[in-house]
Amino acid sequence: MHCFRVDAILDPQSLPRVANYFAQRSIVPSAMAMQVLPTHMRIEVTVAGLAHGQAAIIAAKLGEVVAVLRSELEDPTAELVAAA
């Protein structure tokens, strides 16, 4: 189980852009949550069944999505890894 933490600009399109990244790759998240913070929004996406290398690539690519400020990957077997 991998958890992607994404910080994005406060924009109505930020959440759909992150969700669309997974949809375009036919990946169904186990859970998604979004929280509005004073300066940005935090989106957490949990996905099961990914290899660690695949998850690391996804985290890096999420950092390139329009409106994304930062992307991190949390792997239960490793420490938090900053991707962007």
pLDDT of 11: 95
Q: Which residues pair with 72 in a beta bridge?
A: 5, 82
pLDDT at 83: 52
**In the prediction, which pLDDT does 74 show?**
86
Block means of pLDDT (10 residues each) for the chain, 84 residues, are 96 96 95 97 96 92 94 71 52
What is the pTM assigned to this prediction?
Answer: 0.86
The whole-angstrom separation of Cα 28 and Cα 80 is 22
CATH placement of domain 2-82: 3.30.70.260
> 33 is written with which tokens?
């949550």
Separation of first and last alpha carbons in the chain = 20
What residue ranges do the domains of the chain occupy?
2-82
DSSP designation for 49: S
